Chain A
Amino acid sequence: MEIILQLVAFLLLVLGTLLSIIGVIGFIRLPDVYTRLHATGKVSVFGLVFLLLAADILTPLATWKALLLIFFVLAASPAVSHAISSAAYRVGIPLVGKRDDLKGKMERGKEKE
């Protein structure tokens, strides 16, 4: 039983690290602020959840703390990406792509290069 748990925790650690790395790759490859937020705000958070689950299994004291932290991370991360993207739009950072339903509906600074 102990060994199985250790193996699961190991697997979660590897998965979490991989997803965090993919998040960073996405941050480098994607073209603008808004698409980059998709990579950091989703893939990296997902990786963080796996790492916390692994910590939950490996350290006996952290059961409730890790689960609570997962809840808080999942509650906070969309709010953070929303705040950053909203601020970026308001400041006038241009977005890649043709369709923009929000155009003209929100006060916006001068478009920057």
Chain B
Amino acid sequence: MSQMLQVSVPLFIVYLALTGNVEPSNLVIGALIAVGVSLLRPKMDLPLINPKRLPQFLWAGIRYIFIVAGDVIRGGISTARIVLDPKLPINPGIIAIPSGTRSELGTALSAHSISLSPGEMVVAIDDDGVMYTHCLNVDGSERMIANAQSLRKNLLSRMFE
């Protein structure tokens, strides 16, 4: 039940934000759609957030979003620079990076933000949470990712422990 609420309430809010209409008929339609979609959802274990830790969760989440936003901007600019360079300075390859967390959600979120950051893209993840990452520049990326990953691991473990 609480699992269903966890999915259908955000869906309902997103529906209202997208339609921008709070007439009763629209509210009813939105609620029906949200409940219907949450019934169609495959069974999976969403981590339940302990209400006592909610402020900490939100704070870590907001910091995480800002870090990811910075990564997106730097990623776009540096990849654009590489593409426009007449010499095309790339040294591509796949390197293994341990995510440092065993939780599936934590690994997935790490992989997500790595794929958004400059010149890196996760190709595969194995059962131990090792992320095989394709890099445009193998030499520079390895140390940079290790640093960024320890910061992320810190924040993510605060969100999902």
Where the two chains meet, the residues of A that have a C-beta atom closer than 8 Å to any C-beta of B are 19, 22-23, 25-26, 29-32, 34-35, 37-39, 41-43, 45-47, 49, 61, 64-65, 68, 74-75, 77-79, 81-82, 85-86, 89, 95-102, 105-106
Contacts and interface: CB of A to CB of B under 8 A. Distances in A.
A49 B91 CA distance: 28
Given A22-B80, A35-B90, A65-B20, 9 more contacts: A29-B88, A41-B115, A46-B73, A49-B72, A65-B17, A68-B14, A74-B116, A95-B94, A101-B132
Interface residues of B, number: 38
Contacts of B138: 97, 99
A67 B155 CA distance: 25
Interface string B70-87: 001101100110111000
B36 interface: no
A39 B132 CA distance: 19
B122 interface: yes
B93 A38 contact: no
Contacts of B88: 29-30
A38 B124 contact: no
Nearest to A72: B14
Contacts of A99: 93-95, 138
